[in-house]
Amino acid sequence: MTITLRQLTYLTALDTHRHFGRAAAAVFVTQSALSQQIKELELSLGSALVERNKRGVTLTIIGREVASRAIKVLEQVKDIEQLSRFQSSMPIKLNIGLIPTIAPYLLPHVLPILRSNDNGLEFGIREAQTNILLEELSRGQLDAIIIALPSNVENMIETPLMRDNLLLAGAKEPLETLSKKDLIPTQINAEKLLLLDDGHCLSDQAMTACRIIPSARMDLRASSLTTLCRLASEGFGFTLLPELAAASELRASPDLCVHRFVGDQPHRTIGLVRRSISGDSEWLKVLEDAFAKSIKYLKDTILQEKY
């Protein structure tokens, strides 16, 4: 009996969701159809791949290994399909992921560029935290992601796009208590620093810059930069604000003020990440060019603001 791509797709869905019903819903088939294909795959391989129990599904040792290899096979098949569609002038849909501390500030500038080009490409946009985007990229659900580098994941190619300095943001009066001429991150009281919730890489970068021990932080975390900035503008503390987001957040919170650090400023590197097997295809050049143009615009205009 021949192993099919459908069977491999269903197995990877089962590996992700660990539940027959949820896995079936994810691949748009009935639970019985998915279960039947898994049984046929087990017969083909002559080995049990899943253990069924009341709590859900557990993959066997062989099942985990097959699922891991199936992910790579499906990634390569998708790359072949994309290459074929591009060569035959059929529309290609590129699924792009961005982290929440980049998406609202970069997308308004890059999407018009992407849509204005007559390149036959269609785009799907996904906003999520770094670990989720990397997982979906590795599974082939996304074609490229924009995150803070490095990704620290094997078999990925990273293209740096810009350096994004981190600024200190807060209400005017508290900020004035800090010396602007020699302001360094370690001057900030850890208990006054407002950070994003766990899972946002910006929180880790802020803690590293300010040499903060996690237990010393104020127990107040938010899921968006806008929330942090609103709290900071009301005098609840300080936050580290990416320069990319500064102009937008200053417009949204008129009482918010920012100071730039002196010397070696804390920063993050924003870059494009893709799977190494994706190849240097034309769609990648279109994507990189669009982000490069939007970032150049930002550097020439918004990022010229003096803080």
Q: What is the pLDDT of residues 253-284, one digit of tens each?
A: 989 999 988 888 889 999 999 988 665 567 77
What domains, with CATH codes, occur in the chain? 5-83 (1.10.10.10), 91-162+268-304 (3.40.190.10), 164-267 (3.40.190.10)
Query: What's the chain look like in SS3?
Result: CCCCHHHHHHHHHHHHHCCHHHHHHHCCCCHHHHHHHHHHHHHHHCCCCEEEECCEEEECHHHHHHHHHHHHHHHHHHHHHHHHHHHCCCCEEEEEEECCCCHHHHHHHHHHHHHHCCCCEEEEEEECCHHHHHHHHHCCCCCEEEEEECCCCCCEEEEEEEEEEEEEEEEHHHHHCCCCCCCCHHHCCHHHECEECCCCHHHHHHHHHHCCCHHHCCCCEECCHHHHHHHHHCCCCEEEEEHHHHHHHHHHCCCEEEECCCCCCCEEEEEEEEEHHHCCCHHHHHHHHHHHHHHHHHHHCHHHCCC
Q: Which two tokens stand for residue 158?
A: 């990273």
Residue 174 in this model has a pLDDT that exceeds 90: no
Contact predicate 74/47, CB 8 Å: no
pLDDT above 90: residue 133: yes
Q: 205 or 162: which carries more pLDDT confidence?
A: 162
Q: Quick check: 216 pLDDT over 60?
A: no
Cβ count near 231 (within 10 Å): 20
Average pLDDT across the chain, whole number: 84
Q: pLDDT tens for residues 16-69?
A: 888 998 899 988 899 999 999 999 999 999 999 998 877 778 899 999 999 999
Res 92 pLDDT > 80: no
| 295-to-18, 290, 298 alpha-carbon distances in Å | 41, 9, 5
List, in sequence order, every residue forming a beta bridge with 272; answer none if it has no partner: 146, 159
Which burial class, exposed, middle or buried, applies to 56 when counting CB atoms under 10 A from its CB (0-12, 13-18, 19+)? Answer: middle
Structure tokens at 279: 């190849």
pLDDT band at 141 (very low <50, low <70, confident <90, very high): confident
* Model confidence band, residue 78 (pLDDT cutoffs 50, 70, 90): confident
For residue 256, the model assigns a pLDDT of: 92
User: Residue 234 — pLDDT band, cuts 50, 70, 90?
Assistant: very high
Query: Would you state the pLDDT for residue 230?
Result: 93
Residue 93: pLDDT band (50, 70, 90) is: confident
Q: Would you say residue 217 has pLDDT above 60?
A: no
